[in-house]
Structure 1
Amino acid sequence: MSAPKPIHDDISVERAWQIGRRIYVSCHYESSLGTRLRADLGAHWDRDRKCLWVGSGKKAQVIEEVRATDLRRARVEEIKRTGRPVAIPFTATRLRALAKEQGEAIWDDERKVWVFPREPEFDAVYHQVRDGVAEIRQKAAETARHEEQLRREERARIRAAEQEWVEKQRVEQRVRVLEKSGRAATGEQTAVVVVSTRRMNKATAREMAYPLGTVLRLDDGRRGVVVEHEVWFTGEEMASSVCWHPETHDMAHWDLKHVVAVVEPTIDELSADEAERAAAADAAEIHQFVNLLSRAGAAVAGWSRIDPDTVVGVIEAWYGSGGMGHRSGTVTLTRDEQVIFQHPGYYDEFVRTERVLTDPALVARMRAVLAAGPRKCLYPDQTVYRYEVSVRDEKVDADGP
């Protein structure tokens, strides 16, 4: 077999070559060059070499076709490299046809754009296509903005409807809880917040909240029914700056918020409040009385023995929290109208002292305390004071024997 020979100085032997009486051209069967060679020159397909061939008598025509094809290919690559790209939308059929037919634009498959030649004769078409694309994109952007605005309005409408529905459910729930409680609402509402540093999940926190319908006594003494509650967790960073409580300081915690509808007090609650106020006033009176005795008269060291048969009544006093606390004195009223205050002394010497008082005003005040009968009471101050009143006589007259 003879070696391939070039057919022209401008055409490489890999592109086209001659062997014997045949000229071979390397191209795809369905390419534009292959189509022209088959249609115009009657080229045949060589299955072994995978290329087209024609007789050597048509050499001049082959050289012309190959050179024209290579020139067109070089022209296409030059336009792709130096031309003016325009990204024409797929739907812009008219502009794409204009670019191809009048602007001789080339499709760059890598960049997905149409590329116009730089020659001045294509400027008008290039600008017409470019401006048309800009107009299409502007209209598309306006349409997108309008559609987005419609979507935002729709979402806002849905959120407003949801919030309205949720608020309606909350109001109906509050009404149902109040009706079930049987209490008369005043129309006022307040919030009661309980904080907890316990480690737990949200379900456990909800269980810790007061159940709906629970009647609470507020700090100002009014009563309220829990009609709604919610819980949320607060981390250390938020606890130290935004959600601070004196009970937790900067610690992470759970907030248990209760919405409370203030209600009218019942007769029993009014009676309980009155009894509580009376008990508080009684505790304050006893505390002030014992404090007065601790400073009245002259104190002598040691305690004298008091004959139990002469005792009318006794006030015993303690202070401090936990267990019984510390004794802070004993006040005794005797039948001979003496008020005896015995103090155990102070830390750490505990020197016992005694004060014997016969002032009629103090005696009358002691009788008034005893006349209310035996009882126990607490008086909260900087520390907690506890008093226990005991009466030895079956009946003590506040006005004396």
Structure 2
Amino acid sequence: MPVSDTVEQQEQPWNRRRLRSTNERLLLDRLRDSGAASRAQLARDTGLSKPTVSSALASLEAAGLVREAGTHAPERGRTAVLYAPDPAAGYALGVDIGRSWLRVAVVDLDGTVAARADVRNRARASAALADLVVGTARQVVENSGVDPAEVVHGVVGTPGVYDERRRRVRYAMRLPGWGRTGIVDRMREELGVPLEVHNDANLAALGEYTYGVGEGSRLFAYILIGTGLGMGVVSEGRLFTGAHGLAGEIGFLPWPGRQKPERLEDAVSGVAVVESARRFGMSGQLTAKAVFDAARRGDPAAARAVELEGERIAHTVAAAAAVLDPDLVVLGGGVGHNVNLLRRPVREHARALTPLRSRIVPSPLGGDAVLLGAVATALDTARDVVFERRTAGT
């Protein structure tokens, strides 16, 4: 709630500084959420007096946090100056580390991409992968024309779960050596940017909630199906990670293999699609994409492999429905993006497996879901950091 000007006058000096900061943040958030506005409109929206709004805007403008963004000429009265946040007050870094691709972006405080790079991940050792991340991020910052000192926060998405106490990534089975202690610290030091590390499926879920079909969902699950299998869960707009950050690691669920018990990840992934296709008679150098493309052309072996993959995904959806009761299940990742082929077998088998019903849709974000989640998460912190830095001592 807005704080009254009467209370402001009664506060001690240090409290008055804190109150001014609160009012400034209130106005900045209003401008960021609802767009450019005049002083009069801001006063109406926040309940602050016009003099308080004018003073706070002057401080924000002097700090480089807001700028004039045009004028508004009403039918009656004076022309009003419009104010908006200055997106160039700071920048954030988003990184998506995948088994096949590395994606990096630098964005301003509005979330507009200043520069981006998507490069093949051919690293086969942790040191080489760390070099690739650092080198690509530096190049992206250079290409953006942004002063590196203005990049105030970064978020990295990776398979596995980052253990802050042990300072290493755990359970990143598809990235050889990525669990070594000190790898993340090394990237932080060489980039000179504070880095958070989060599970890729969790970030994809946040990206889907912020920019995709998850917006407005009460509880939804994002199932990431690519070289591995993971799930992110967002409830009431907040990520659910469990007691140890491992919620959604459905790839570790047991699965009855042909020779011996397997993990669900071994059955529901791009690798599993290729293995099934070979078992049904396809040959040559195969990828999951090649199998799906062949199924579209009517290849019977590929079609059987896709049908089997749909059945296995249905088991994953049924497990999520039983535990979480989501109103929405989003399928993403390299395999999940082939929902046009998978939708029928997934829905048919899911109906046979469980009476629980969740809407199943493809991710509209494609391969960008993790990166967008990383960007959205980095921006939350970057905006706070920039505000504190630029208003310190005012």
Same fold (TM over 0.5): no
What is the TM-score of this pair, normalised by structure 1?
0.17
Bigger proportion of residues as strand: 1
Higher helix residue share? 2
Greater relative contact order (CA < 8 Å, ≥ 6 in sequence): 2
* Alignment TM-score, normalising by the size of structure 2: 0.17
